[in-house]
């Protein structure tokens, strides 16, 4: 069987076509493009133009769509995600079902990534597993007792909204939230705050020199300088790692999972935050629960978004 996956993120959008073979996925087609700000229907039309070409020569079973929350998956609506400006009550499921005639399923990106890593990645064989996106924003997907847990209104796992401090970067509309400290946007915001404060004191700021302007500072650039030995940039990642460790302790104490799998920035830069994360986790988490929980980077790597969107379609047909 063949499936179409659509992954919509704050940074980029992607569509892919894959075939299920021997419990694995064989990718046949893929296209991606940067997400334009505030133009949701332009994105939908562009995605439809991509997949409609594929449907001329391939018989797909259904479409899975992975997007950051909040969503109303029952009604098929995208409901103003913090990292998708202007995406207010967008009827995305109705759009693609009407255009293609295919069953279309909408899933929170963290849930979809949890399914993907559970079926095809680092979560294989686990009955209790959490996935953290740690990308543009931060969300959690929960696999509990061998099933995806979505909560009473489908909003389970909005971990980025948890307040970790009354000071700090803003994420998910809340100062000092877990998303504020543990997301690409949050790390970039900490970098900008440091750079501008240092500049005011008359200090030389390599981060600002490399970026050219404060607006160009990104989590990726901060990681590059930290790797090159910039102590201030390394400290930003240590701070993010420490807050991550405290957040993980909460999840481990609550859910007692076998594995927590983390994508995005952590997957790419875990070496910069691993030590501070482990220190805080050991201090804050219940020892018995921490000892049985593996914390792993996403095994599917940069392809996790593609697997996630496809998994959203496959899981719904199977359950």
* List of domains in the chain: 2-109+303-318 (3.30.420.40), 122-299 (3.30.420.40)
Condensed to tens digits (0 to 9), the pLDDT of residues 152-172 reads: 888 899 999 999 999 999 999
Mean pLDDT of 249-274: 97
For 110-140, the DSSP string reads HHHHHHHHHHHSTTTT-SSEEEE--SSS--E
Q: Which residues of 180-206 are buried (b: 16+ CB within 10 A; e: fewer)?
A: bbbbbbbbbbbbbebbeebeeeeeebb
Give the tens place of pLDDT for each residue, 87-138: 999 999 999 999 999 999 999 999 999 999 999 999 999 999 999 999 888 9
pLDDT of residue 251: 98
Q: How far is CA 79 from CA 13, 20, 84, 197, 214, in A?
A: 17, 31, 10, 36, 30
Query: CA–CA separation, 99 vs 101, rounded Å?
Result: 6
| pLDDT classification of 315: cutoffs 50, 70, 90 | confident
pLDDT over 90, % of the chain: 87
State the alpha helices, DSSP H only, in 56-91.
Answer: none
Yes or no: say if 129 and 260 are a contact pair by the CB < 8 Å rule. Answer: yes
Q: What is the pLDDT of residue 200?
A: 93
Residue 116: the pLDDT is: 96
pLDDT averaged over the chain? 94
Residue in 129, 147, 149 with CA at minimum distance from that of residue 258: 129
- Phi, psi of 24, deg, nearest 5: -120, 175
34, pLDDT greater than 90: yes
Q: Quick: pLDDT tens for 55-95.
A: 999 999 999 999 988 899 889 999 998 889 999 999 999 99
Is the pLDDT assigned to residue 11 strictly greater than 90?
no
User: φ, ψ for residue 26 (rounded to 5)?
Assistant: -110, 115
Q: If pLDDT is split at 50, 70 and 90, which confidence band does 319 have? A: low
**Structure token digits, residue 175:** 């100062």
């Amino acid at each position: 069987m063949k499936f179409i996956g659509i992954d919509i993120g704050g940074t980029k959008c992607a569509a892919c076509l894959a075939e299920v073979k021997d419990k694995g996925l064989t990718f046949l087609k893929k296209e991606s493009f940067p997400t334009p700000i505030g133009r949701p229907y332009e994105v939908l039309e562009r995605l439809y133009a991509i997949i409609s070409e594929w449907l001329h020569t391939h018989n797909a079973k259904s479409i899975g769509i992975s997007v950051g929350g909040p969503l109303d998956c029952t009604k098929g609506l995208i409901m103003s995600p913090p990292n998708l400006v202007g995406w207010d009550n967008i009827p995305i499921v109705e759009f693609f079902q009407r255009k293609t005639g295919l069953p279309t399923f909408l899933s929170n990106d963290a849930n979809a990534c949890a399914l993907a890593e559970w079926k095809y990645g680092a979560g294989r064989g686990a009955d209790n597993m959490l996935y953290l996106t740690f990308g543009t924003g931060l969300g959690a997907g929960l696999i509990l007792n061998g099933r995806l847990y979505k909560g009473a209104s489908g909003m389970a796992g909005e971990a980025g909204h948890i307040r970790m401090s009354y000071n700090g970067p803003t994420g998910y509309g809340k100062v000092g939230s877990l998303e504020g400290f543990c997301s690409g946007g949050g790390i970039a915001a900490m970098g900008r705050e440091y750079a501008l404060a240092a500049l005011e004191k008359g200090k030389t700021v390599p981060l600002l020199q490399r970026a050219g302007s404060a607006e160009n500072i990104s989590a990726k650039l901060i990681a590059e300088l930290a790797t090159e030995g910039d102590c201030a940039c390394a400290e930003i990642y240590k701070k993010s790692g420490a807050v991550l460790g405290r957040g993980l302790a909460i999840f481990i104490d609550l859910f007692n999972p076998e594995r927590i799998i983390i994508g995005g920035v952590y997957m790419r830069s875990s070496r910069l935050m691993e030590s501070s994360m482990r220190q805080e986790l050991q201090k804050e988490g219940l020892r018995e629960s921490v000892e049985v929980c593996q914390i792993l980077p996403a095994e599917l790597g940069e392809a996790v978004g593609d697997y996630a969107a496809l998994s959203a379609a496959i899981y719904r047909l199977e359950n």
